[in-house]
Structure 1
């Protein structure tokens, strides 16, 4: 498997995870009901069952009485999809767009202080903070791999580019620029 193929495979893992974690923000009431039903059917820690029941009750009541509040989570889901679209740049040209990967790594790190600050303010249990922080910890892993592969690709000797009519007309010193592709 080529370096570019490996980069794309890891980017795909990250993007799919990002999209899945985003679109699950749409059906929160149904999801929390399913999780609550499951937890009531199997042996589960009482604190977890109580917390999921409380979350479900809050989401159901809010959805029933104030459905417009869910618009915020709709935007959260949309933001995940939009962020995923940004990875089209590294998919097309990893070396030139390594900054997208590095930006995403910074975002993964930033999840930790956000969870540590916001979760207590919002009265979330400490173990929920760990779940939230795990998104950054798990998310940064494929990004670290991608960044390492992009560095390797950048340091490798340039592969010959296929001759196209545009490539033949562009001087060598402009190849790879915005003008030459």
Structure 2
């Protein structure tokens, strides 16, 4: 692989060395990744609401669309500040781009349901 993608291999080696050196010298920094994992679990748990009551919890889906959009400026601003290669920034941005697609499909599917709930509430 290093013959075909020397820049990618150099970057992966740099990352490996950085993680190893950081863990050797500052193991407490890994605690931040524990909290990052916890945050992902908490965010995933928030999606239980739309599964149980999609209309009432549509805000979770809208919030997730906003979060997907926020990935792009974060990668564009912080990537260069942290020395992240351009190609890797595009990989990071792709999570926001591809992640928003199913969310927009869900929002579109919820529109008629939301309208019927609004009509029912107005009739009562």
> One fold, TM greater than 0.5?
yes
Q: Are residues 1:69 and 2:29 paired?
A: yes
From 78, 97, 108, the equivalent of 2:38 is 78
The CA deviation string for residues 42-98 of structure 1, in whole angstroms up to 9 with x for no partner, is x54110010001001100111122111111111111111110100111011001110
Higher relative contact order (CA 8 A, sep 6+): 1
What is the total number of aligned residue pairs between the two structures? 120
Gaps spanning 5+ residues in structure 2: where?
118-122
Tell me how far apart the structure 2 counterparts of residues 151 and 44 of structure 1 sit (CA, whole Å). 48
Could you say what the CA RMSD is over the residues aligned between the two structures, in angstroms?
1.9
The aligned counterpart of 1:18 is none
From 101, 106, 110, the equivalent of 1:141 is 101
Tell me how far apart the structure 1 counterparts of residues 21 and 4 of structure 2 sit (CA, whole Å). 24
Runs of 4+ that moved beyond 2 A: 152-157
Gaps spanning 5+ residues in structure 1: where?
1-38, 158-171, 174-181
Tell me how far apart the structure 1 counterparts of residues 93 and 112 of structure 2 sit (CA, whole Å). 29
Q: Are residues 1:130 and 2:90 paired?
A: yes
After TM superposition, the score normalised by the length of structure 2 is: 0.89
Tell me how far apart the structure 1 counterparts of residues 98 and 16 of structure 2 sit (CA, whole Å). 26
Larger Rg: 1
- Report matched runs for 1:110-129 at 5 Å: 110-129=70-89
Between structures 1 and 2, the one with greater helix share: 2
After TM superposition, the score normalised by the length of structure 1 is: 0.62
